[in-house]
Amino acid sequence: MVAIVSTAAYLGLEARAVEAQVQLAPGVPAFVVVGLPDKAVGESRERVRAAIAAIGLSLPPKRITVNLSPADLPKEGSHYDLPIALGLLAAMGVVDAETLSEYLVVGELGLDGRIAATPGVLLAALHASERGLGLICPAAQGAEAAWAGGSICAATDLIGLLNHLKGTQLLPEPAPGEAEELVPGPDLRRVKGQETAKRALEIAAAGGHNLLMVGPPGAGKSLLASCLPGILPPLDSSEALEVSMVASVAGTLTGGRMTRARPYRAPHHSASMAALVGGGLRVRPGEVSLAHLGVLFLDELPEFQRAVLDSLRQPLETGNVSVARANAHVSFPARIQLVAAMNPCRCGHLGDPALACSRAPRCAVDYQARVSGPLLDRIDLHLEMQPVSAADLALPVAAEGSAEVGARVAAARAVQARRYRQVAARTNAEADGEVLETTATPDAAGAKLLAQAAEAMRLSARSYTRVLRVARTIADLAGAETVGRLHVAEALSYRRQPPRA
């Protein structure tokens, strides 16, 4: 007899249909799993054997063959334990195979029969809903799966699940997890001085632009970056689902609690390429995907490995990261807002003759050359920050904080949402091609200034486009329909020239 149980394989944020086909046949007793299983799937034999023994049953003295179909699709993870166990119990006649055909099954088994949480349950639930199936999953992830709707059976252990399938016990239907409350971060009122930097931060937030801050130690770069999430508008329902799907695959969505707060990730500069853009033995999303629709803050930018930084070029341009393997090609979303900070040189005091090292300005050229030109070209706003003086620190708390700035940002974002509702863009930073030409073409005076600056500053085509995007955002903040000369001039002021020896 062959029993079939539906389950799923994960490729990025895509769930692929998989059948766990279990056969009991005469012959030398054995337990074999085929269908391109990885080590975790291969080890499921022992977990399934122990879990079935824990509920008082023993495997029949027959040859047990488990085929995970399609056989050419790699199978990774421990979530195949439960479908294999249920398929085996169906083949033994313990559970009705017809009942199991109505469900998609995921879950890891403990040796005592408990059903443990596994990454990706939200993807499995959405996939099951699309196929018109119910979902059997761990009880710890029932609230997560409930966001997809449909019939959810969330079980704590194997014996409870079997009783539910037989109708002798009724497991409660889980409810969607409560949305996390927005936790306020640092307020812009904490930032003393640095009015130009606050203005640049507001422009970056309003248009979704990438931002680079260059300044001496203690200038407030890290504090400003941590204030950015507080002035960004919260995620809408569809965006929250996208972010939660990435968190589900990464195994960081606990308690099924979705959040409307935009992600904020700040990896250390020792992060590897796999940690930043994704990958590893079992492909998992990296920091750039965990920051999807949020902020990725890279402090001490030149201290990151050159190859690691250059791996960000594709995500910054396309909003997507692709991880290629010999047997799979996995994609994760990575529509991020990059905020980077760096010192002007290794000592950090390039502009101060009293504190600068003896190698200035050559040390600045060598230090900043660690960051490639093509990566810098993908950053919309380049900001030179000055040290905070004692007079600045003595100033009273600013009257305007994150709430006031956030209101202006929200108004500008609302304008962009209406403007781009018919195209695949959310913000000015994503506008391109004909859409950008239609919405951001400056008036005659602005066009003349931009042409002169492009020649004098030797702007690349990408830099030229990014100046237009920033100018459009500045105009939106000002409530202007047309991009004017003043908007272009301010946008050009944020295009920084590299130091020369």
| 63, β-bridge pairs | 25, 30
pLDDT above 70 for 89 = yes
Predicted pLDDT at 315:
93
pLDDT at 194: 87
What average pLDDT does this structure show over 227-243?
A: 92
pLDDT, position 449:
96
DSSP 300: S
Percentage above 90 pLDDT, the chain: 71
- CATH number, span 188-427: 3.40.50.300
Residue 75 and residue 35: Cα distance in Å, rounded? Answer: 7
CA atoms of 462 and 447, how far apart (whole Å): 17
- pLDDT at residue 104, as a whole number: 98
Going by pLDDT thresholds of 50, 70 and 90, the confidence category of residue 422 is confident
Contacts of 131 (CB under 8 A, 6+ apart): 6, 17, 104
Higher pLDDT, 103 or 346: 103
For residue 15, give the nearest of 65, 77, 84, 67 by alpha carbon.
77
The closest of 85, 80, 78, 82 to 69, measured between CA atoms, is 80
Looking at residue 37, what is its pLDDT?
93
pLDDT, tens digit (0-9, with 9 covering 90-100), for 465-479: 999 999 999 999 999
What topology is assigned to 2-166 in CATH?
Answer: Ribosomal Protein S5; domain 2 (3.30.230)
Q: What is the pLDDT of residues 346-396, one digit of tens each?
A: 777 676 666 667 666 777 888 888 999 899 999 999 999 988 888 878 888
- Residue 252 per-residue DSSP state: -
- Cα-based distances in Å from 99 to 5, 6, 81, 114, 169: 10, 12, 19, 21, 15
pLDDT exceeds 60 at position 124: yes
Interstrand relation of 264-265 and 329-333 (parallel, antiparallel or unpaired): unpaired
Rounded Cα distance between 273 and 275, Å, is: 5
Over the stretch 125-181, which tens digit does the pLDDT of each residue have?
Answer: 999 999 999 999 999 999 999 999 889 999 999 999 999 999 998 999 998 877 777
In the structure, what pLDDT confidence band is assigned to residue 344 with cuts at 50, 70 and 90?
Answer: confident
Q: Is the pTM of this model over 0.85?
A: yes
Q: Does the pLDDT value for residue 433 go beyond 90?
A: no
List the one residue out of 43, 54, 127, 112 whose CA is nearest residue 79. 43
Taking 80 as the threshold, does the pLDDT of residue 400 lie above it? yes
Parallel/antiparallel/unpaired status of strands 320-324 and 134-138: unpaired
Main-chain dihedrals φ then ψ at residue 290, nearest 5 degrees: -65, -20
Compute the distance between CA of residue 208 and CA of residue 204 in angstroms, rounded to an integer.
Answer: 5
**pLDDT (0 to 100) of residue 353:** 67
Angle at 10 between CA 246 and CA 120, to 5 degrees: 45
Query: Residue 54, class by beta-carbon neighbours within 10 Å (0-12 exposed, 13-18 middle, 19+ buried)?
Result: middle
Q: Which residues contact 135 (CB under 8 A, 6 or more apart)?
A: 103, 104, 105, 106, 124, 125, 128, 129, 145, 148, 150, 151, 152, 153
**Comparing 74-88, 154-168, 253-267, which segment has the lowest mean pLDDT?**
253-267
Q: What is the mean pLDDT of residues 186-202?
A: 90
Q: Residue 366 has what pLDDT?
A: 83
| Mean of pLDDT values over 190-196 | 87
Contact 337, 294 (CB under 8 A): yes
Domain ranges in the chain? 2-166, 188-427
Compute the average pLDDT of residues 191-199: 90
Are 35 and 132 a contacting pair, CB within 8 Å? no
Q: Is the peptide bond before 361 cis (omega within 30 degrees of 0)?
A: yes
User: What is the pLDDT at residue 98?
Assistant: 94
**Diameter of the chain measured on Cα atoms:** 87
